[in-house]
Amino acid sequence: MEGGGSEVKHSQKAKLILITCMVIVGLFSIYSVYKSMRPTRGLPYERLTFEQAEEYMEFEGEFYVLVDVGTKEEYASGHMKGAINIPYDNLVEESVTALPDIGEQIYLYGRDEVTCDKAARKLRELGYNNIASLGNLQSRRGEPLTEEMTETTG
């Protein structure tokens, strides 16, 4: 009789292990599907519209960094709320301290798409692996930069 109770305990442990494995596989599957839905295959970074990025940012909560790669003057003239400024010319030096987690999702934007794409490639070369280039801030929803979209200093 005592051996039978032991088998039940082992059976319960096996079920618990199986359920845990199924949960882990399920979470990994959801993450894989989420990542595969993201566009821009073939580039070392993603190219997104501001609308796509805003949807992802909402989903990701606080687990991302929004970076304005424009000059300090461009940043001071207006930037997206919550964005930090790392001018493209200072990207290599400032990314080490401003972006310490190379696995964190990084959204880049600036005043022109070319600079954003160059910044995305540079960050990829530095080892960052979750980068999205949003391009020109002026293209956000096809509207010019307005006070509603900016957080000005002062």
Q: One-letter amino acid identity for 103?
A: G
CB neighbours of residue 62 within 10 Å = 7
Q: Taking the domains of the chain in order of start, what are their residue ranges?
A: 1-37, 46-149
d(CA 144, CA 124) in angstroms, rounded, equals 29
Write out the chain's pLDDT in tens, 154 residues: 455 567 777 788 888 999 999 999 888 777 666 555 555 555 678 888 888 888 888 888 888 999 999 999 999 888 888 899 999 999 999 998 999 998 899 999 998 889 999 999 999 999 998 899 998 887 665 443 433 344 443 3
Question: β-strands 131-136, 105-110: how paired?
Answer: parallel
Q: CATH topology for 46-149?
A: Oxidized Rhodanese; domain 1 (3.40.250)
Output the CA torsion 68→70→76→81 (10° steps): -20
d(CA 102, CA 145) in angstroms, rounded, equals 30
pTM: 0.66
Helix axes 91-98, 113-125, angle to 10 degrees: 60
